Amino acid sequence: MTQNAALFSPVQMGALDLPNRVLMAPLTRNRAQGDGTPKAMAVPYYRQRASAGLIFTEATQISAMGKGYLDTPGIYTEAQVTAWKKVTDAIHAAGGRVFLQLWHVGRISHSSLLPDGRAPLSASAIRADAQTFTANGFEDCSTPDAMTEVQITQTLAEYRHAAKSAKEAGFDGIEVHAANGYLLDQFLQDGSNHRDDAYGGSIENRMRFLQEVLDVVGEIWSPDRTGVRLSPLGQANDISDTDPETLFAAVIEMLDSRKLAYLHMVEAFPGSTPNDDDSALIDRLRQLWSGFYIANGGYEAQSASDAITSGTADAVTFGRPFIANPDLPERFRIGAKLNEPDADTFYGGDETGYTDYPFMDHPADKVA
């Protein structure tokens, strides 16, 4: 008997027909080669999870300057494209669908991770009160350089090239990562954007870079295969805004006018519980979006099913449950118990905690 039946009703999202609404969230795993090329073990990892209604890859940097953490993958060299093509081929052969998340971390980086030891790039030269993971372990983020307009133009070209590379690698679409305090979020929010040019000051100006990114990736991908991820509550990587509701209302209305495949909203961060004001803000912002809405943050099978049934979400992304349960949709469908994730293996390492979590294989596994 199917439990939480709303999770298993097929649905159209942009150009894609999704067989279920249990989607795999983008999950940083720090298991790529030092040059950003995905390792061979990424192929079975993603193939194992192909029963998701849609897989979002781990955040993938658009360029060498977009890197912010040790051993994260890229999508800007031929070797990276070739490696990702093996991943997408495996997912498709298993009947799955996959979007690549395009990522530039901006100031959430360290000079040791960047070409020639350069300073990170950001909207303004304001160091984030945050840490990143380098060859020496966790280190404070480096002070960034404020991007010149020439550097903005170059970064837009990098977004376009990465979008083209994603198509060559066989992805079904792309997600523009504008959440969690990374580069595009740094331009949006006034805690990190103190510019006085066409990219700073007013909300219209602060949205300009995101709009230009969507314009350039739109030269490669149609809107019905493009989505955006936002996190209006902040709470990540020292990001803040003096009036987040007004800002994100404008952002969402702008995105809505573009008729994108979806909006992917981070409603809560791991380890946090939104208060009533936070939940009310998310509710008000969600009502400004007329398209396909993907919710993320703290959902379990029942709460996700309830959100879909009530119409407050069209699908839900799951993160850590997918790490530990490659067959998560089937476990949700029959009400099976879940494997427990091992937090010690979330970031970096070998196949342990990556490709070795068990599928259900005997009746005892199927008892909730």
Tell me: the pLDDT tens digits for 133-150?
Answer: 999 999 999 999 999 999
Q: Compute CA 362 distance to the chain's CA centroid, rounded to the nearest angstrom.
A: 34
For residues 323 and 2, the model is more confident at: 323
Residue 363 has pLDDT above 50, yes or no: no
* Whether 199 is catalytic: no
For residues 255 and 273, the model is more confident at: 255
The rounded distance, in Å, linking the Cα atoms of 105 and 189 is 14
Point out the catalytic residue in the list 159, 182, 199, 354: 182
| pLDDT for res 288 | 98
Hey, what are 346's tokens?
């979330």
Q: Percent helix, strand and coil across the chain, each rounded to 5?
A: 35, 15, 50
pLDDT tier at 368, thresholds 50, 70, 90: very low
Mention every residue, 6+ apart, whose C-beta is less than 8 A from residue 118. 65, 111
25 with 296: CB under 8 angstroms?
A: yes
Region 327-336: mean pLDDT is 96
- Residue 332 has φ and ψ, to the nearest 5°, of -65, -40
> Per residue in 203-233, pLDDT tens?
999 999 999 999 999 999 999 999 999 999 9
Region 152-176: mean pLDDT is 98
Task: Report the half-sphere exposure of 62 (CA within 13 A, side-chain side).
Answer: 27
Q: What's the mean pLDDT when you consider all of the chain?
A: 95
pTM above 0.85, yes or no: yes
**Domains located in the chain, CATH noted:** 5-366 (3.20.20.70)
Longest dimension (CA), the chain: 64
Residue 168 has pLDDT above 60, yes or no: yes
- For residue 67, give the nearest of 108, 122, 99 by alpha carbon: 108
Output the 3-class SS for 202-217.
Answer: CHHHHCHHHHHHHHHH
| pLDDT for res 365 | 46
| pLDDT for res 362 | 52
Range with the lowest mean pLDDT among 221-235, 272-286, 345-359?
272-286
Strand partners, 293: 263
| pLDDT for res 275 | 86
Residue written as tokens 């959430």? 108
Does an H or E element contain 57, and which?
none
| pLDDT for res 234 | 84
> Per residue in 21-47, pLDDT tens?
999 999 999 999 999 999 999 999 999
pLDDT tier at 169, thresholds 50, 70, 90: very high
Residue 48 has pLDDT above 80, yes or no: yes
Residue 282 has pLDDT above 50, yes or no: yes
Please tell me whether residue 344 adopts helix, strand or coil conformation.
helix
In Å, what is the CA distance from 29 to each residue of 24, 79, 149, 165, 347?
Answer: 13, 19, 33, 21, 5
Please tell me whether residue 149 adopts helix, strand or coil conformation.
helix
| pLDDT for res 327 | 97
The rounded distance, in Å, linking the Cα atoms of 25 and 305 is 17
DSSP secondary structure code for residue 116 in this structure? G
- For residue 255, give the nearest of 215, 313, 314 by alpha carbon: 215
Hey, what are 9's tokens?
């009703």
> Per residue in 68-101, pLDDT tens?
999 999 999 999 999 999 999 999 999 999 999 9
| pLDDT for res 323 | 97
| pLDDT for res 3 | 79
In Å, what is the CA distance from 333 to each residue of 48, 97, 329?
Answer: 17, 19, 6
Hey, what are 290's tokens?
């007329």
The rounded distance, in Å, linking the Cα atoms of 211 and 52 is 30
The rounded distance, in Å, linking the Cα atoms of 13 and 21 is 10
For residues 363 and 342, the model is more confident at: 342
In the chain, % of residues over pLDDT 70? 98
